[in-house]
Amino acid sequence: MNTQIAHEFLTRCFHPGETIAVLLRKENPASTTQRIVRLEQALGARYLAWLRYENHNGANVYVAANPLLAGSRKRTKDCIAEVRHLYIDIDVDGEKRIAALRASDAVPVPSTILSTSPGKYQALWKVEGFDFDQQENALKLLVIALGGDSACTDRNRVLRVPGFLNRKYEPAHPVSVEYPNDSIYHPDDFRLDDALLNAAMPFRDTARTYATGKNTHSEQDWAWAVQQLSLGEDAGSLTIELASRRSDKPNPLYYAQRTIDIASARLMLLNGAAIEDVIAMLEDRRPADLPAALAPPERGRL
């Protein structure tokens, strides 16, 4: 464990005086602790020493990807102050996909690449000028084009903090970081159009298939969604069914809609739909289209 690495990461990600969310999650027994603090407190020697102690005793250390509004007590979507990063989780064919991402002329060089475990990565782009709707659509298109994790497209997403250990594994895996570029990017720097989608074509034929019994619940949900949509099942009905099956999620409906949206978009692309039609579909599908009883106010997920 190296708290100096964590200190540099947090300093690069956030501005002085900002409010951030730090999350500690233990696997066994399962427990979650969240702290909403100012950046300067998180950077203090005593605070970093506490995080190191908790990490040593089995807690995984995360931070929210975007700053929170001053005075926030939670990490819900409506507590996010502004869009600071775009990001993508890559947990399948990690080396190949990171290489393709670096070589792409349709997305800029990432600001940060986290190696979270063997073959798994989180890539971040530090941005400004994105509103929340622009960010959400961009995150979905990044997943569709580059084959990332479809469950990781919300604005209150958390990231692993480098310098600490990923305690999901035995032995624990050190989370490392590199900073390929110091630029701050804008919406026009991301050309998520047909050129990007064509560049991603090699991934489409092998889009997230998993061996039974070896995958996570989210990966099983993805495989089920793709199969049902391929059979012509209605996206709205599938969203409601998936939400009812995943009551373990803090916001089952939001999780279900996000999964079905991205699976629908990927299948549309495979069937030759234009990117404009895919974007229109993503923009049109909203919780308001679903039964009111199943559409609670937006909440963050831990």
Q: pLDDT tens track of the chain, all 302 residues?
A: 789 999 999 999 999 999 999 999 988 788 889 999 999 999 999 999 999 999 999 999 999 999 999 989 988 888 999 999 999 888 777 788 888 778 777 788 899 999 988 888 999 999 999 988 888 888 887 877 777 776 677 888 899 999 999 988 788 889 999 999 889 999 888 877 644 455 444 444 444 443 334 456 776 777 788 778 877 778 878 888 888 888 777 667 777 777 787 777 777 766 767 666 776 776 666 544 444 444 444 433 33
pLDDT value, residue 24: 94
Q: Please check whether residue 259 is in contact with residue 151, taking contact to mean a CB–CB distance below 8 angstroms.
A: yes
pTM of the model: 0.68
Residue 265 pairs in a beta bridge with: none
List of E strands, the chain: 19-27, 30-38, 59-64, 85-90, 112-117, 120-126, 158-160, 165-166, 173-174, 176-178
For the stretch 62-113, pLDDT in tens is: 999 999 999 899 888 889 999 999 998 887 777 888 887 787 777 888 999 9
For the record, the structure tokens of 287 come out as: 């919780």
- Does residue 37 sit in helix, strand or coil? strand
User: How far is residue 231's CA from residue 224's CA, in Å, rounded to a whole number?
Assistant: 11
Is residue 36 within 8 A of residue 69, CB to CB? The reply is: no
